[in-house]
Amino acid sequence: MRTQVAIIGGGPSGLLLSQLLMRAGIATVVLERQTRAHVLGRIRAGVLEQGTVELLRRAGVGARLDREGIVHEGTMLSTAGGMFRVDFKARIGEVVTVYGQTEVTRDLYAAQDAASATILDEVSEVALHDLTTEAPYVTFQRGGEAQRIDADYIVGCDGFHGPSRQAIPRDKRTEYERVYPFGWLGVLSRTRPAAEELIYANHPRGFALASMRNPTLSRYYIQVPLTDRAEDWSDAAFWDELRRRLPAEVAEGLETGPSIEKSIAPLRSFVTEPMRWGRLFLAGDAAHIVPPTGAKGLNLAASDVHYLSEGLIAAFAGDGAALEAYSDRALTRIWAAMRFSWWMTSILHRFPDQTDFDQKIQEAELRQLETLASAQAAMARNYTGLPY
Ligand code: APR
Ligand code: PHB
């Protein structure tokens, strides 16, 4: 088989890239290891920056998002001293849209089907070859048969554990990493959200987040030790612990119910540089991971795909400059989001080795955020998304 761009991974990065390229008349093939049902069963964050919303509209997948997405003009922060609000709209005139990543992925699959895209699911043994030549190719197994795709470019959108990043020789990439000493236990429930906006809570027992997907579907998280297992947390124990960490007035009115999904995710910051090796380009989680605090994961995947689609479209039209610049452009924005998600993580969580001094600094940070318009503006700018 031959195509112009072979895309490894059918998550949001791979599907959005394929969609943008196909709309520009460029042929793609997407290779996905899992079934579509599996990909659509994953629960991930649900806060979209305005730039992500606009990109999804440009990709032709904005209709349901525009109908069902919930615009949030600010967020709540809860501390020992009480709850306060950061008003994004008032501070910088920007907003975010609450719309689940699962829904984004569903819309992308529907659009790709309508465009008769080639998405090969349940592939295995994906291997990348001849990446530094003019004729790179991918080999894989599907339905018991060995297959090969030749392409002009190969894009790794295969997430943190995929083979693409590993195809870059170890001495040609630099990896930066921070692993945090706790995880997030997340619960999805068919209940009314705790509040109109998200609540990020700093509490002596650990961080908590009250989030939502829509008016009848809530998403909650609590910070837990990495040694905890989701199976050991009963729904009742989860709700009890969440109530303790939320402000009393919110906890009192909290609607609880059976969990639809319950899982623990570790927190990590990770970047690999550069995001290119010959004719291989990386995008999304294949190149970087942010801790979920601040919901930057999907938004960074979107900005990578924006820069990369521009670069590839220009390259096929004979101008390779934007593609040459891809890795540097993407990494500038990625490091800004790395800093922001690290900062939000560090001011909101209880660290096991936190000293009294660290504790006082955390309180001072939160107090600045509560009282200084300039601190709120900086947070609002980063939370709603830095410009592309
Ligand atoms: N062969 C083919 N596909 C693979 C392989 C492989 N060897 N390994 C992984 N994949 C697929 C996964 O099954 C998954 O569907 O690549 C896809 C990667 O998707 P994501 O992990 O969702 O990554 P990405 O598309 O970059 O999306 C980034 O998703 O993970 C969240 O927090 C992240 O919100 C961010 C967004
Ligand atoms: C979520 O709704 O899953 C979510 C929202 C905001 C975050 C992280 C996760 O910062």
User: 188 forms bridges with which residues in the sheet?
Assistant: 219, 261
**Is there a catalytic annotation at residue 274?**
no
Rounded-to-integer distance, Cα 231 and Cα 262, Å = 8
pLDDT averaged over consecutive 10-residue blocks of the chain (388 residues)?
98 98 98 96 91 98 97 97 97 97 97 98 98 98 97 98 98 98 97 97 98 95 98 98 97 96 97 98 98 97 98 98 98 98 98 96 97 98 96
Active-site residue, selected from the candidate residues 200, 220, 307, 326: 200
Taking the CA of residue 200 as reference, the ligand 2 atom at the shortest distance is 10
Cis peptide leading into residue 193 (ω within 30°)? no
The pLDDT assigned to 254 comes to 97
pLDDT tens, residue by residue, 104-153: 999 999 999 999 999 999 999 999 999 999 999 999 999 999 999 999 99
The pLDDT assigned to 140 comes to 98
Place of tokens 């999304």: 284
Q: How far is the CA of 45 from the centre of ligand 2 (A)?
A: 5
State the greatest distance between any 2 C-alpha atoms of the chain, in Å, as a whole number: 63
Q: Which of 325, 292, 298 is closest to 385 using CA atoms? A: 298
Encoded tokens for 339:
């800093």
**Is there a catalytic annotation at residue 292?**
yes
Give, using CA atoms, the residue closest to atom 3 of ligand 2. 45
Residues having CB closer than 6 A to ligand 2 are: 45-47, 198, 209, 211, 219, 292-295
The pLDDT assigned to 321 comes to 98
28 neighbors 4 (Cβ within 8 angstroms): yes
The pLDDT assigned to 44 comes to 87
Asked whether the domain spanning 181-266+350-384 has the same topology as the one spanning 5-71+96-177+268-344, the reply is no
The pLDDT assigned to 42 comes to 87
- Give the Cβ contact number of residue 137 at 10 Å: 18
Give, using CA atoms, the residue closest to atom 10 of ligand 1. 158
Q: Which of 180, 54, 30 is closest to 115 using CA atoms? A: 30
Class of 5-71+96-177+268-344 in CATH: alpha beta
**Is there a catalytic annotation at residue 137?**
no
Domain boundaries, the chain: 5-71+96-177+268-344, 181-266+350-384
State the CATH architecture for 181-266+350-384.
2-Layer Sandwich (3.30)
Give, using CA atoms, the residue closest to atom 9 of ligand 2. 45
Long-range CB contacts for residues 325-328, cutoff 8 Å, separation at least 24: 326/275, 326/276, 326/281, 327/273, 327/274, 327/275, 327/276, 327/281, 328/274
Ligand nearest to the Cα of 142, by number: 1
pLDDT tens, residue by residue, 166-176: 999 999 999 99
